[in-house]
A = this chain, B = another copy of it.
């Protein structure tokens, strides 16, 4: 009964990509740990770039500088 949380920045993540992450993590836990797929939960949390900081800066600011 694993519980996985994936936090990524909210930048045009498609539903198909989310489905691939969910299936991929579930398969990985089954393969490595022999965990039951039926009770494997995966949650994807999309975080606004204004709300995520790295190296002391907002990702939104970093993205602006990259332009």
Which residues of A line the B interface, CB within 8 A?
Answer: 1-9, 13, 15, 17-29, 31-33, 35, 37-47, 50-61
Cβ–Cβ < 8 Å partners of A45 in chain B = 47, 51
Kindly provide the distance from the CB of A45 to the nearest chain B CB, expressed in whole angstroms: 7
Cβ–Cβ < 8 Å partners of A53 in chain B = 18-19, 21-23, 25-26, 40-44
Closest to A15 in B: B50
Given A6-B29, A24-B32, 6 extra CB contacts under 8 A:
A3-B7, A18-B53, A19-B53, A21-B29, A39-B55, A46-B51
Given A32-B21, A42-B53, A58:B5 Cβ within 8 A: no
